Structure 1
């Protein structure tokens, strides 16, 4: 059982978690701007008294004193591009629509992501081999890894609290505080789906929420909110700027119990964010996933057949679940073949209907000096870094060009058949 205390601004001040043998208490303190200054916790166990007291402080050091734990680099759009830790670097690349395309680890291995809308449905290696597939309904249901299927169970907040095999045998359990800090995490656990059912970047130890990243250990986003100054209704019905929205880094207005932010753009009431959380539980009973938001006819057919066969026998149920997986795999393969991979592909919309060749509007940025200048204007150290962010190791195969109509920087392959919009301008 958990209980919570809030201040007059609806910020979480105290969290108490109780069971039959222990009681854990978390206390949160903030400054006048809404930044989390301290997180204190203590645990009482029957027969042992107080154990494991602790404190995490985020107060500023003395003037001029800087403590560097890690270094992060961002592009002109505020997206994390490089993470430097203990002499190792992890790099990230993004699609033109802003979603993360792939991650290159320090050991040189690369993990790419395949998206269906705003939901990740698969991950793959640099050679194109699918390494993990994800089954989704109204929420995350299951994962297929190395040919083995496992299912996710969620709590009312949407957090992944357990993974099981097909028979319901528990594989791993999870527990979190209100801000998403996991209790007793295991270093060898590579499951990326945890707090709020979102994707945990195991290298950066933050949650990738599409528009930006959330870091539980500080209770803050690592990038500014793109939506500044939201409004709230006063008791008299008038609208005014919500003071909690003036801090562009706070997570859910410091009220992570009642709100969630699955997009990274704005907090929404938790019940709306995780309307389909129970689907993960239902999956184990066999009534898995009504259909994905981009469902195909085969998924709907699988659902209808499953409902009619549910009471018959376990064999029919297992066959039905396999049909769901087959339909999901078909969707993943179609996304992969359509170009949703780490290779740069021509954008079908990157053309001018009045100019089929689309040649007149692109002008090459000549010379390293001019190219570096354009890159630095957008927050990069060099043109090479900018290219790496969008086309990875193939940067030498692309020229930087400028759309003379819009000023957007377009990476154009030397052969001329591939154009990669960057969303950056010169």
Structure 2
């Protein structure tokens, strides 16, 4: 079986696909990943031995380009015209990458990421006459009465509407307005018929939810037959850098602070400094993850250590608490490590994961996206308590590590 795994998004979109690819290759199948060629994405796939077919513009480059165009409005949603311009290009480049990756022997395409990229990947599967599986890594982007959809540029959700099913119907129409024409334009150029309902066509009526059912359960109340496989976790046996090990061995477990792929969020300016000072106020050392925000140490005291790309599975297990942005992957890793969390959510699904961590009693959901010294000091006081630490260890034992095995079995049965 030859499986093409397709995405355009952040590290949190790529790493689960890499995890499934590793599992499939270990079972004797072929697997290739189509993803934007950011340096850290390329390095990750090279490290785990998964072939890469580059798809479109590097994400960091795209973000920088958008930021230059938006100028002082950076951080706001793109204007509709700009969104459709980029969607048009993304549909075409993802289609071309998936076509190249599948070749004459492809059996199925597993697609996720931004909607235009998923559209292009689905069209490629159609063109080749092979299977298509849509996957999401959080329940909040799938239609259900349990939560509201996210708004799109130029299409704010109707004021006063409280029925989530009605809001999701509005979202269906929004997808047609924002992406339908762009999608159909491309399909016409490659000889494929138009699609009336772009969201239903990409998601299908049986999408997969690759999220742990303890951390992010599927709530039901939906017309979709959602298949929850469990999280797709990429095993990481890399040793920690010697300098980091020496730092960890030299004292009590530190607080980890990092915001992953939240590189250009203005709200994170100074967040690293405030988090360090908040941890110090509790007598704690800090490991600072630079991430896309390029966080840096603000002084030369020996109670802090800065890291770049590192084995978070091993590192988190040696920390007292994890302060992060609330991405699906980081939340899962911190939960598996049995460490309490402070989530400072920035975008999309991150407020959901912040809320889930709080509901599970394993962390604090920071109020708002702008952390301060005071708010982080208060949050750390809560998560560093013996009670929360014990609860985090308890929940860690309930997180499944079989998600890729479940998904591989489902693909083999297609």
Q: TM-score, normalised by structure 2?
A: 0.27
Q: Which has the higher contact order (CA 8 A, sep 6+)?
A: 2
Structure (1 or 2) with the larger CA radius of gyration = 1
Q: TM-score, normalised by structure 1?
A: 0.27
Q: Which of the two has greater strand per residue?
A: 1
Q: Which of the two has greater helix per residue?
A: 2
